[in-house]
């Protein structure tokens, strides 16, 4: 199964924010979209990514003053991305080894989706169920 298949099932909507937005605005968007991470998009495309975990760690370090800081101060700028043609299996390995929970999907220079570890697990379970059904049908026929 490919990442394009996952996006076809879940959709390609991606919550994004400008690097100059405040952390308060970021929190509002996380709640509004009910997501755990937001892709930071600047003039030249994906500039970074910020997760709930990033915010909690920075709040612990800096306190409430962080809320007025720009997103660019807390985002992860070195973003691992994948393409729609990548396999779910290969992305599962990378996400597990590097402990990523969210990976933006890029086609050419365009942000076309985002995949979470939950999306990957759900697609793997679906594939295993399909394989199991096919084996059972083969055995009983």
Distance CA 120, CA 123 (A): 5
First to last CA, the chain: 26
pLDDT in tens, the chain (141 residues): 899 999 999 999 999 999 999 999 999 999 999 999 999 998 888 999 999 999 999 999 999 999 999 999 999 999 999 999 999 999 999 999 999 899 999 999 899 999 999 999 888 887 788 778 888 888 888
In the CATH scheme, what is the code of domain 3-140? 3.10.580.10
DSSP H helices in 11-87:
23-33, 52-62
Q: Where are the domains of the chain?
A: 3-140
Give the contacts of 74 (CB within 8 A, at least 6 positions apart): 23, 50, 54, 55, 58, 66
Name the E strands within 1-141.
16-17, 37-42, 45-51, 102-107, 110-116
What pLDDT does residue 109 have? Answer: 87
Give me 44's structure tokens: 């030249």
What pLDDT does residue 129 have? Answer: 80
Our CA angle for 70, 27, 113, nearest 5°, is 90
What pLDDT does residue 124 have? Answer: 82
What pLDDT does residue 111 have? Answer: 95
What pLDDT does residue 139 have? Answer: 87
Query: φ, ψ for residue 12 (rounded to 5)?
Result: -115, 10
3-state SS, residue 118: helix
What pLDDT does residue 57 have? Answer: 94
**Confidence (pTM):** 0.86
């Amino acid at each position: 199964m490919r990442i394009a298949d996952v996006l076809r099932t879940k959709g390609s909507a991606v919550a994004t924010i400008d690097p100059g937005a405040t952390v308060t605005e970021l929190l509002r968007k996380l709640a509004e979209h009910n997501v755990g991470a937001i892709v930071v998009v600047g003039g030249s495309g994906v500039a970074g990514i910020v997760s709930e975990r990033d915010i909690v760690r920075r709040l612990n370090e800096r306190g409430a003053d962080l809320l007025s800081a720009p997103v660019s101060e807390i985002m992860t700028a070195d973003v691992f991305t994948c393409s729609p043609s990548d396999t779910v299996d290969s992305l599962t390995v990378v996400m597990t080894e590097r402990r990523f929970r969210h990976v933006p999907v890029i086609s050419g220079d365009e942000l076309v989706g985002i995949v979470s570890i939950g999306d990957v697990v759900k697609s793997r379970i679906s594939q295993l169920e399909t394989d199991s059904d096919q084996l059972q049908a083969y055995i009983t026929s």
